[in-house]
Amino acid sequence: MSVTVVVPAYNEERTIGAVVEAARAAGPLVREVIVVDDGSTDDTAARAQLTGARVLRLPFNTGKARALSAGVREASEETLVLLDGDLLGLRPEHLYRLAVPVLKGEAHMTVGVFRHGRPLTDLAQFLAPQLSGQRALSRALFLRAVSASGPGFALELALNAYAQRHGLVIRRVALEGVSHVTKEEKRGFWPGLQARMQMYRDLWRGPD
């Protein structure tokens, strides 16, 4: 049993190589790694390709949901592991923790929650674990959830809502030592903080 790893990435040249390397190091579990370069203006695509990913380049920035959808439609395996492109501390065992419950039929979807990584990202996931982008699920489930969502949806919330609406089993798994680059680090303090507040507003608003 194997999976396709799909990683949406926008200007993640600093971290995308390590994410791809960790995924590919998961041995026979991972059949392929697809990085969707979502209109990046840096070397994201080149770094991903250099470390062995299959790169799908979008001509302009479309947003995470559309970028992931493009990658999922190219996946060769029915079971997917979705990862963010800005992860720090990712190890091969983390992919097994995400994928195995789905592959064994113990859960329809897993959601990875950071533990003992960076304090700020640990806190953010403690407050809103349902926003985590680290997941495993079937390709069919992903496409059904996206199809059932309206325009402008927040992807993670759409997946959660679909699973809950249909009585599917969601399992949270701890990703020890994993964190990511914060929005404040990427964009500067005030723009990053505004993006973080928008993320929490999306949480309370729910999918369209």
Q: Could you tell me the pLDDT band of residue 153, with boundaries at 50, 70 and 90? A: low
Q: Which of 89, 84, 77, 45 is nearest to 186 (CA)?
A: 84
The string of pLDDT tens digits covering residues 72-121 is: 999 999 999 999 999 999 999 999 999 999 999 999 999 999 988 677 66
Q: C-alpha angle 62/10/195, rounded to 5°?
A: 80
End-to-end Cα separation, the chain, in angstroms: 35
Q: Rounded to 5 degrees, what are φ and ψ at 2?
A: -140, 170
Domain ranges of the chain: 3-205
pTM over 0.85: yes
Domain 3-205 in this protein, CATH class: alpha beta
The string of pLDDT tens digits covering residues 25-35 is: 999 999 999 99
Buried b (16+ CB within 10 A) or exposed e, 141-154: bbeebbeebeeebb
Residue 138 pLDDT exceeds 80? yes
- pLDDT value for 181: 87
Which position has the higher pLDDT, 177 or 126? 177
